[in-house]
Amino acid sequence: MSTGRAASTGSTESGGVTVPPFAVIPGGQVRRALEGREKEIVEVVEATYRLHGAGRTVNPPSSFLRFPDRPASRMIALPASLGGESRVDGVKWISSFPGNVTSGVPRASAVLILNDPGTGYPFACLESSIISATRTAASAAAAADRLSRDRPRPARVGFFGTGLIARYIHTFLEGSGWSFDDIGVYDLSADSAAGFRLYAEQSGGAARVTVHRSPEDLIRTSDLVVFATVAGAPHVEDPAWFDHNPVVLHVSLRDLAPRVLLASTNIVDDIEHCLRAATSPHLTEQLTGNRDFVHGTLDDVMAGRVDVPAARPAVFSPFGLGVLDLAVGNYVYEEVARAGELQIIDDFFHERRRYG
């Protein structure tokens, strides 16, 4: 993926440096660069997990901006640095304002800044709510595949929470080769559940779509369960609901009570990141006083260092790594550059010489 980045690099053949041109990539271009490329993006995400597992990334803890007068809202900065063949540094700045939903506006908005590793100068600003949803969905699709390899392929998927992330996960599952006999839906909002049902029925698949009246019904009738809610504390507490040993994509991180996790095989994206900020794994650590219930990372599973037995529920709890945003954002930048469609902002950096 050198096309485009070659134009933005701050290095010169003489060994000096130059200020890279600065591009703005709006949401429409981001969507076109990613649309229909689910398999490629899953491969990008898996490659990034391998780099992260090999210590070739820098991914410090996220920084949270909270508001005393708006306790339900927050903004989060995810700085990161990605090594490998397409090195890039940067930061995602994403806001979560749940109150937007009542006005028909998406809860989350985001931008991603990509920085040139040679000079530190930013070379692109991308609309990133799509990138964020895409990397989350690709991570979930990768986990669904890897965690189900030693058990019958799930034929019944259940979506607990039916917002944007659930829709993207469904798209990535189907786009990366999954098909289902049944799609289950549950949401506290009847309108949201009905909307997701209509979306699923119109997506072109042959699956039967059922809106469930209770969480227990959804979970017990699903081989693959997707949690994509805005829950702030665990609300699913009975391990017996998982007695059929499903694969669980615990994307929203705070749905499952500790005793559910203690009865499961637990895989995360990064142990240090996931066991913080009152996530379900963090609460489980606080309850037990140890991390023995965490069996490994998705990279461990991909590398064969950790087995995922079919005789227990398998739960994937991804905190969401900034390096994934960088990898997908860099993929978008390369695709837009390759198409010759970069929108360069001339003279964005006014002072390009140290002494004028």
Q: What is the pLDDT of residues 307-333, one digit of tens each?
A: 999 999 999 999 999 999 999 999 999
User: Tell me, what's the pLDDT at 297?
Assistant: 98
Same domain for 187 and 121: no
Residues 81 and 268: their CA atoms lie apart, in Å, by 20
pLDDT at 10: 54
Query: What is the per-residue pLDDT for 334?
Result: 97
Task: Indicate the angle between helix axes 164-175 and 190-202, nearest 10 degrees.
Answer: 20
pLDDT at 18 (0 to 100)? 86
**Do 210 and 297 belong together in one domain?**
yes
Q: 144 and 292 share a domain?
A: yes
Residues 165 and 65 in one domain: no
- Of all residues in the chain, the percent with pLDDT exceeding 90 is 86
Q: 289 and 152, same structural domain?
A: yes
* Rounded Cα–Cα distance for residues 171 and 203 (Å): 9
Q: Which residues contact 209 (CB under 8 A, 6 or more apart)?
A: 182, 183, 185, 197, 200, 201
Amino acid 4: pLDDT: 45
pLDDT at 7 over 70: no
With contact defined as beta carbons under 8 Å apart, do 113 and 104 qualify? Answer: no
Number of folded domains that form the chain = 2
Q: CB–CB of 185/212 below 8 Å? A: yes
Helix (H, G, I), strand (E, B) or coil at 185: strand
| Predicted confidence band of residue 15 (pLDDT cuts 50, 70, 90) | low
pLDDT score recorded for residue 205: 80
Q: Are residues 260 and 303 in the same domain?
A: yes
User: Does residue 2 carry a pLDDT above 70?
Assistant: no
Mention every residue, 6+ apart, whose C-beta is less than 8 A from residue 134: 34, 41, 168, 172, 328
The model's pTM: 0.92
pLDDT of the residue at 8: 46
Instruction: State the DSSP code for 195.
Output: H
Residue 326 belongs to some domain of the structure:
yes
Q: What is the pLDDT of residue 101?
A: 82
* Assigned token pair, 326: 């960088």
Phi and psi (nearest 5°) for 355? -110, 20
Please state the rounded mean pLDDT for residues 258-270: 98
The tens digit of pLDDT for each residue in 45-74 reads: 999 999 999 999 999 999 999 999 999 899
Residue 356: pLDDT band with limits 50, 70, 90: low
Q: Are residues 191 and 247 in the same domain?
A: yes
CATH of the domain at 71: 3.30.1780.10
Is the pLDDT at 89 greater than 50? The verdict is yes
Q: Does residue 101 sit in the same domain as residue 36?
A: yes
Q: pLDDT band at residue 12, thresholds of 50, 70 and 90?
A: very low
**Distance, CA of 295 to CA of 246 (rounded, Å):** 17
Mean pLDDT across the chain: 93
Residue 36 class from Cβ within 10 Å (0-12 exposed, 13-18 middle, 19+ buried)?
A: exposed
153 with 260, same domain: the answer is yes
Residues 118 and 216 in one domain: no
Q: Could you tell me the pLDDT band of residue 17, with boundaries at 50, 70 and 90?
A: confident
Name the more confident of 99 and 166.
166
Catalogue the E-assigned strands of the chain. 23-25, 57-58, 63-66, 74-82, 88-96, 108-115, 122-127, 156-160, 182-186, 208-211, 224-227, 247-250, 265-268, 294-297, 314-317
Residues 174 and 297 in one domain: yes
Scanning the structure block, which residue is given the tokens 């530190």?
Answer: 120
Number of H helices, E strands in the chain: 12, 15
Range of the domain at 95: 5-132+322-338
Domain at 199, CATH number:
3.40.50.720
Question: pLDDT at residue 186 above 80?
Answer: yes
pLDDT digits (tens, 9 = 90+) for 25-35: 999 999 999 99
pLDDT of res. 6: 43
C-alpha distances in Å from residue 239, one per residue of 110, 244, 262, 299:
36, 10, 9, 26
**Residue at 25 is within a domain:** yes
Q: What are the tens digits of pLDDT across the range 131-180? A: 999 999 999 999 999 999 999 999 999 999 999 999 999 999 999 999 99
